[in-house]
Amino acid sequence: METEPRRAYAEVRALNGDGPYLVAFAPCYACGRLFSFDPELVPSIPVDLVNRLPADVGEHGPGAIFQRLPVCRDCIGRANENRRATGRPLIEVAPNAYLDEG
């Protein structure tokens, strides 16, 4: 049985006093590892909520509903290795997208 990613958002203040921002904790869509991220900055991919396949993989029904799901830094690194090898543009990672890494 699949479960929707558990998300816990906590409003915190930035150390530099720039105001509140959101921190999210969720399993990576690709590997399942729990990680923390800024939901507005994290790289994500649109996934078909019925068959759980990314939008650019496999077949999708006419009424498919896609939701962007977060992907961890390690999986983005692996995706970029494949993209580099096949000459596709790399996925850019915004500074501060991941909060559990230095």
Which residues lie near Zn ion (CB under 5 A)? 28, 30-31, 72, 75
Of 13 and 100, the one with the shorter C-beta distance to Zn ion is: 100
The residue with tokens 């991941």 is 98
Question: In whole angstroms, what is the distance from residue 5 CA to residue 20 CA?
Answer: 23
Least separation in angstroms between CB 33 and Zn ion: 5
Least separation in angstroms between CB 78 and Zn ion: 8
Of 64 and 99, the one with the shorter C-beta distance to Zn ion is: 99
Question: In whole angstroms, what is the distance from residue 89 CA to residue 52 CA?
Answer: 24
Of 48 and 71, the one with the shorter C-beta distance to Zn ion is: 71
Residues β-bridged to residue 35: 26
Least separation in angstroms between CB 66 and Zn ion: 19
Question: In whole angstroms, what is the distance from residue 12 CA to residue 63 CA?
Answer: 38
Least separation in angstroms between CB 64 and Zn ion: 23
Q: Which two tokens stand for residue 25?
A: 């904790």
Of 48 and 98, the one with the shorter C-beta distance to Zn ion is: 98
Whether the CB-CB separation of 70 and 26 falls below 8 Å is answered with yes
